[in-house]
Amino acid sequence: MSLDTTMHRIDLPALIAAVADTVSAHADELTALDQAIGDGDHGLNMKRGFEAVRAETATLAEKPLPDALKAIGTKLVMTVGGASGPLFGTLFLALGKELPAEPGRAELAAAFGKAVDAVAARGKSQAGQKTMLDVLYPVQAALAAGKTGAEIADAGDAAAETTKPMKAIRGRASFLGDRSIGHVDPGARSSALIVRIVTETLERDA
């Protein structure tokens, strides 16, 4: 089953559990990436946020998808902290605002595009600055181009790797200037991890 049909019968509790499991399992890796070019809190920030979302699963599951996404965004803003909390929060809040209750592929791609633009506006950032946007934009492009879930996930992983030679222009890593070169951006990596587990879970549960 493909992403085209799965959005109609999304299993939100399974999705929340899968994302929280992945983020928590990779917390040390994300922390190590942030230790290299930031302050070493990205893994813990993300784990705290997504475990807080997991704790709300029962309440979230009762809501229509757009409302659940907005509630997830608000929770992430309140609990992740750092620069990434408001940015991931904005992504989910904007997705909730843009998505209809039973979105198809075209609506998902359009809503995700607007949500990524909202993140860029919130962060006053753009592609090429060594941030989560360097994963979110290519993922959006793959989604809009009709790629399969596996292809979208691979595009996300590849995009995270492209941040390695980049010099950080936004966020804490930008304080390092040229010394930010040679490390994968933590927020790009966490974005790719989330994209992979979301696509895998949606396709598996279809």
Q: Nearest approach, Cβ of 98 to ligand ADP (angstroms)?
A: 19
Nearer to ligand ADP, 83 or 202 (CB): 83
Closest CA to 106 of 15, 114, 12: 114
Select from Mg ion, ligand ADP, none the partner in contact with residue 170, using the beta carbon and a kind-dependent cut-off of 5 to 8 Å: ligand ADP
Residue pair 173/180 in contact by the 8 Å Cβ criterion: yes
Q: Is the CB of 73 or the CB of 187 nearer to ligand ADP?
A: 187
- Residue with smaller CB distance to ligand ADP, 6 or 79: 79
Choices 27-35, 106-114, 146-154, 198-206; region in contact with Mg ion by CB under 5 A: 27-35
Beta carbons within 10 angstroms of residue 124's beta carbon = 8
**Interface with ligand ADP includes 83 (CB under 6 A)?**
yes
By CB under 6 A, the residues from 26 to 45 that bind ligand ADP are 34, 38-39, 41-42, 45
CA dist 33 and 41 (Å) reads 10
* Interface region with ligand ADP, contact rule CB under 6 A, candidates 17-25, 58-66, 109-117, 179-187: 179-187
